[in-house]
Amino acid sequence: MKTLILLRHAKSGWDDTVSRDFDRPLNPKGKRAGRTVGQHMRTLGLAFDAAVASPAVRVVETLAQVADGYGVAIDPAWDRRIYLASATTLLDVVRETDDAAATLLLVGHNPGLEDLVLALVPDRNGNLERNKVEEKFPTASLAVLHFEIDLWADVKPGSGTLIRFIRPRDLDPTLGPDT
């Protein structure tokens, strides 16, 4: 069995005057959400053998905050293809994972991550977690998928089971949308 953990970067600062989207940093709420998600990952005992991430500043900073909350440094392979990638490109990255890794943490952006979950998890009546993803995959959210396979290359649309979907607001209501 293989497990795929998808993490969307935390909330970034749109008010920052960086010249490129790639360079946008996290805002204070995003930093807090990253630490909170990391703490929750530790509480759940959610571990991974490999990590691959977009090198965008907001992803790098998200991983630093998640690691702070998780209590262990996270040293991913940085893959430029993940920056604003489509679900198809993200699936290619997943399929290229070394089969020695049972669990992969993939950290990136939307809409690619949301689209990837929706492609990999069948749309069955009553799948509340999938319905939440379909509604929105908010910043700093985490999706955990299981696959009954031995090789990452065998991951295909409709073959996954969404085990959990965690939004920051589920952990701390103050991390939810501003009203």
**CA contacts within 13 A on the Cβ side of 56:** 26
Note whether residue 135 is domain-resident: yes
State which residues form the domain around 65: 2-105+120-157
DSSP 20-46: SGGGPPBPHHHHHHHHHHHHHHHHHT-
pLDDT digits (tens, 9 = 90+) for 40-71: 999 999 999 999 999 999 999 999 999 999 99
Q: Can you give the CATH number for the domain in which 30 is found?
A: 3.40.50.1240
Number of domains within the chain? 1
Predicted structure pTM score: 0.95
Note whether residue 165 is domain-resident: no
pLDDT digits (tens, 9 = 90+) for 110-131: 999 999 999 999 998 778 899 9
Note whether residue 168 is domain-resident: no
Beta bridge partners of 158: none
